[in-house]
Structure 1
Amino acid sequence: MSTRTKYITLALLILIPSFVNLGVPIYNRDDPELFGLPFFYWFQTIWLFACTGFYFAYSRITEKKS
């Protein structure tokens, strides 16, 4: 992986969760419900796990010395 591609990938891994969480109108609603939980709560829970995956990918890319 070239250095430029690596930095673009790292920037996307950081920026995607940031932009989604800053877009409050996207998830500021009650419907649809999942297991009785409003959309707001389960959407945030899913993004918690997704952000963990983004961070794991980020750390794997940065620890490789190229």
Structure 2
Amino acid sequence: MSEVTQEKQPVVTPVRVVIALCLIAPFVAMLWVGSYSRTEPTLIGIPFFYWYQMLWVVLSTALTMVAYQLWHREQRARASRNGGGER
């Protein structure tokens, strides 16, 4: 009898670690209030407390886009390794 052995792909891969870091970083930055609870330095008259949070809106968007692209690239690679039929 011939047995077809399917290699199990690891659940935790380096790409998934990067994806997790991209998605967790904004939460850590916003929940660590002590790091930005001050008024100086100001940016065009806006206290640090406010512009730091607004900066993270843009950074969070960029990090989410990176995570999304990495996820899709990994899923396409997994599908091609599995024969293209499964995700």
**Deviation sequence 1:3-59 (CA, Å, 0-9, x none):** 611111111111111111110011111111110000011101111100000011011
Distance 2:13 2:64 in 1: 19
**After the TM superposition, which of the residue ranges 49-58 and 3-12 deviates more from structure 2?**
3-12
Q: Is the 8 A contact 2:22 2:64 kept in 1?
A: yes
Distance 1:62 1:38 in 2: 36
| Local SS of the residue matching 1:54 | helix
TM superposition score normalised by structure 1: 0.89
Distance 1:56 1:14 in 2: 10
Identity of aligned residues (%): 28
| Coordinate RMSD, CA, aligned | 1.4
- Does residue 38 (structure 1) correspond to residue 43 (structure 2)? The answer is no
Alignment of 1:1-66 (within 5 A): 4-64=13-73, 65-66=76-77
Q: What count of residue pairs does the alignment treat as equivalent?
A: 65
Distance 2:25 2:58 in 1: 14
- Which structure has the larger Rg? 2
Which stretches in structure 1 are left out of the alignment for 5+ residues? none
TM superposition score normalised by structure 2: 0.69
Which stretches in structure 2 are left out of the alignment for 5+ residues? 1-9, 78-87
